[in-house]
Amino acid sequence: MLTNDKKEPIAAEIKHSLSPQAAKGFWTSYGDLGCRKGFIVYPGSEAYPLEKDVFVLPLKNITDIVK
């Protein structure tokens, strides 16, 4: 878990796969912590939505998480 500049929780998970999926623990933490945003970081090159307010993000853009 990370926080943004407003101290809001952000769920994040790092994957090695080029076709990443969020693990059960990600969703549990996302809900339990009241996250409004989540990210799955992977070694690919495309950013895309996975679910509502959960996005797959390339490792090269990891700093976008806390913006």
The pLDDT tens digits for 38-67 are: 999 999 999 999 999 999 999 999 998 887
Over residues 4-16, the pLDDT tens digits come to 888 999 999 999 9
Q: H helices within 16-59, ranges in order?
A: 24-32
> Residue 60: its pLDDT value, please?
96
Question: Radius of gyration (Cα) for the chain, nearest Å?
Answer: 11
User: Of 40, 43, 6, 47, whose CA–CA distance to 25 is shortest?
Assistant: 40
Where along the chain do its domains lie? 2-66
Dihedral, CA atoms, 50, 55, 56, 60, nearest 10 degrees? 170
**35 pLDDT above the threshold of 90:** yes
**1 pLDDT above the threshold of 90:** no
**pTM of this structure:** 0.89
Counting DSSP H helices and E strands in the chain, the numbers are 1, 5
Q: What angle do CA 31, 14, 46 make, to 5 degrees?
A: 105
